[in-house]
Amino acid sequence: MTNKKKKLYITTPIYYPSGKPHIGHAYTTVLADVIARYKRAIGYDVFFQTGLDEHGEKIANTALKQKKEIKVMLDEMAVVFKGLWKQLDISYDYFIRTTDKQHEQAISKIFSTLIEKDCIYLGEWASYYCVSCEENYTKSQIEKKGDGKMYCQFGHELTYKKEPSYFLKVSKYQKWIKNVLTKSKNFIYPQSRVKELTNSFINEGLTDLSVSRTSINWGIKVKENPKHVIYVWIDALFNYLTSLGYLSKDDKLFKKYWQNNDVQRVHLMSKEIMRFHCIYWPIMLHMLNLNLPTKVISHGWVITNQGKMSKSLGNVIDPKMYLDDFGSDALRYFLIKELSIEQDSVFSHDIFVKVYNGDLANNYGNMITRVWGMMQRYTDYKVPALSKKLNNLDKQVIKYHQDLIDNYKKYVDEFKIKDLLIKIQSSYDVLNKYIENVKPWQLFKNKQTETLNNCLNIIFHFMVDLNILLSPILVKASVNFFKTFKLKSKDGKKTIAFGPYYLNKDSKARYEMYADHNFKPKNESDYPKIIFARR
């Protein structure tokens, strides 16, 4: 029997370990993790991979500068990257390093196959090369500055190089790739980037890509001609397949998550490397008769108030600072809620603190202590049952809650996690307003028990569902929430599982889920912990 579960293979770029990861790397990785967790929650079989791009001139130069052996430096950096992802609760399934033997062997075979298929030929290469971008630029993409030197669009100094080189015959596929990019509205998100790509790279004429170097030796050698080292981008792009075991003895995962038409194959990155992922990568896959990714999501840059982050300006934001100070949930939340896929977004400390205080300390945290406090006073920690007699205010909240449950999956399916988060966050405003209007303290004083019980039941269940819906983002806080209220999952009909917890699709069943549940604390350690203390 075939496994009918929907599948998702999601990847981040493999990062250059030439420096410590910064907030931009953290953004892509958190976004991929949150998508992976939401998709798992709605029943997808997910494989999520990240890793490091460890070859090329940039890496060799970094080790030289640090006076370290390359492999020693790489091993140290792998620890740094993995450590950061652990601290950020990144739930990757596989971490690839391009110096892994299995990867290197597969790349060497792939290169040979491309030579055999006449997709790669030997020629001579002369160009301005940017070591920092690991990319060569055409005359129209570079600028001569006052010092007489050439610079790329990012301000890195270029070197002029002339050497024998292998070339990938991409020019032959100009029409084919244009068709791939423009035919499907779903292939690239956001669609606005398709025009940028076709105008800048394809319409100008796609020239064959130089795919080997003789001037460097830190990389995978061309078997047929070992003076040549395979271009780092060819080596890197195929990580998406080698990590699944492509061309190795065990290629089960490759068959399951790549050569299988029932899989969403999604690459995530920011815009500057779209050209590689949307032009050269599909062309190479096509040359080898392999499946293409089904979606490339390219988000905007994280910038600062002074513009792009750069070492020389000293404005590079270190995610560790925020993690150590505010914790991983707060950083994850901020990145998803405030940064944007469609545009560049400013990371500002002031906005971080504002969002932390407003959304997490006030809305999220206060709701927990507020509900706990009311139920402590009015029901001795018992969740009362819902009666049939509901007033208009109750009905309005129930409708809002129902609407959220009916729609959250659509947001997840369309990768619109930020929009979902905004909707979840506004639920706290709805709940707070409801409490202000219903005034449970007055109902208690006036002994209007039925109305009070309805209100407490509704708030409690809505708050539980908000925690379930937030659990892919607030990984630690949500676990803590379920512990605080002594909640265990109960399987019922018409339920949607989120980890061990359930959202009831059906409104009546939803409000019965925890009726009569008692979370009376035994000792002080059972009291709610303040996870997001105000700053």
**Binding site residues, ligand MSP, CB under 6 A:** 13-16, 24-25, 27-28, 53, 236-237, 239, 269-270, 273, 301-302, 309
In the bound complex, what is the minimum distance in angstroms from residue 306's beta carbon to ligand MSP? 13
Q: Name which of 269 and 361 has its Cβ closer to ligand MSP.
A: 269
Smaller CB distance to ligand MSP: residue 91 or 315?
A: 315
SS3 504: strand
Q: Decide if 206 contacts 174 (C-beta within 8 A).
A: yes
Which tokens sit at 457?
């039941």
Residue closer to ligand MSP by CB (options 16, 111) is 16
Distances (CA, A) of 288 to 112, 113, 283: 12, 8, 9
Distance of CA 269 to the CA centre of its chain: 9
Give the tokens for residue 133.
């971008």
Q: ω into residue 528 within 30 of 0, thus cis?
A: no
CB of 31 to ligand MSP, least distance (A): 9
How far is 456 from 476, CA to CA, in rounded Å? 25
Q: Minimum distance between the CB of residue 216 and ligand MSP, rounded to whole angstroms?
A: 16
Residue 13 CB, nearest distance to ligand MSP (Å)? 4
Please give the Cα distance from 290 to 504 (Å, whole number). Answer: 41
| 222 in Cβ contact with 213 (< 8 Å) | no
Q: Which one, of 73, 115, 336, lies nearest residue 222 by Cα?
A: 115
- In 98-170, which ranges are E strands? 120-130, 135-137, 143-144, 150-151, 159-168
Is residue 212 within a helix (H) or strand (E), and if so which, with residue range? Answer: strand 212-213
Tokens matching residue 62? 């970094």
Q: Give the nearest distance from C-beta 183 to ligand MSP in angstroms.
A: 24
The minimum distance between CB 405 and ligand MSP, in angstroms, equals 32
Which tokens go with 277?
A: 């992922």
Closest C-alpha to 202, from 135, 279, 128: 279
Which letter does DSSP use for residue 276 in this model?
I
Smallest gap, in angstroms, from Cβ of residue 18 to ligand MSP?
8
- Find the shortest distance in angstroms from Cβ 236 to ligand MSP: 4
If the CB atoms of residues 238 and 356 are measured against ligand MSP, the closer one turns out to be 238
Report the nearest approach of ligand MSP to the CB of residue 140 (Å).
Answer: 22
| Distance (Å, whole) CA 318 – CA 308 | 14
Q: Which residues pair with 46 in a beta bridge?
A: 8
**CB of 53: closest distance to ligand MSP in angstroms?**
3
What letter does residue 190 receive in the DSSP assignment? S
- List the structure tokens of 513: 């889920």
For ligand MSP, the closer of residues 333 and 408 by Cβ is 333
What is the per-residue DSSP string for 334-376? HHHHHS-SSS-EE--HHHHHHHIIIIIIIIIIHHHHHHHHHHH
Rg (CA), the chain: 27
Residue 91 CB, nearest approach to ligand MSP (Å): 18
Question: Which residue lies nearer to ligand MSP by CB, 62 or 467?
Answer: 62
Which lies closer to ligand MSP via its Cβ, residue 297 or residue 503?
Answer: 297
Nearer to ligand MSP, 56 or 440 (CB): 56
Q: Which is nearer to ligand MSP, 53 or 338 (CB)?
A: 53
Amino acid at 52: L
Q: Which is nearer to ligand MSP, 236 or 469 (CB)?
A: 236
Instruction: Map tokens 């930020």 to a residue.
Output: 418
299 DSSP β-pair partners: 270
DSSP assignment, residue 513? Answer: T
Our CB check for ligand MSP shows the closer of 53 and 465 to be: 53
CB of 273 to ligand MSP, least distance (A): 5
For the chain, the first-to-last Cα distance in angstroms comes to: 55
> Is the Cβ of residue 27 or residue 411 nearer to ligand MSP in the bound state?
27
Residue number of the CB atom closest to ligand MSP? 24
Among candidate residues 386, 388, 405, the one with its CA nearest the CA of residue 460: 386
